[in-house]
Amino acid sequence: MYKILIALVASPTTLTASAQLDNAASEATAATKHKIDEKRADSKARKSGPVGKAINNVKSGYHKNKSRNSADKAKQALKDAG
């Protein structure tokens, strides 16, 4: 009986930690995708004229910020799961 009670108490904790880990993985994936898009925009900016360079630099900055935010969210989710 005691083992069943412990299992019931531990179950929600395990589910919460699992959800936080899933969230951390999702945010880490998003950070990586934004980092790739940032590098693509940087590459296009080097190859473009003045207008294309300005546009791609803005895109690069956007993806850099989104990547940083996603990485921070992933770190926080891992802390919350721990």
Q: Please state, in angstroms and rounded to a whole number, the distance separating the CA atoms of residues 63 and 47.
A: 19
Q: How far is Cα of residue 76 from the mean position of the Cα atoms in its chain? A: 10
Q: What is the pLDDT of residues 10-26, one digit of tens each?
A: 555 555 667 788 888 89
Full-model pTM: 0.72
Q: Which two tokens stand for residue 8?
A: 């019931």
Token pair 């993985």 is found at 25
Q: What is the pLDDT of residues 24-82, one digit of tens each?
A: 889 999 999 999 999 999 999 999 999 999 999 999 999 999 999 999 999 998 888 87
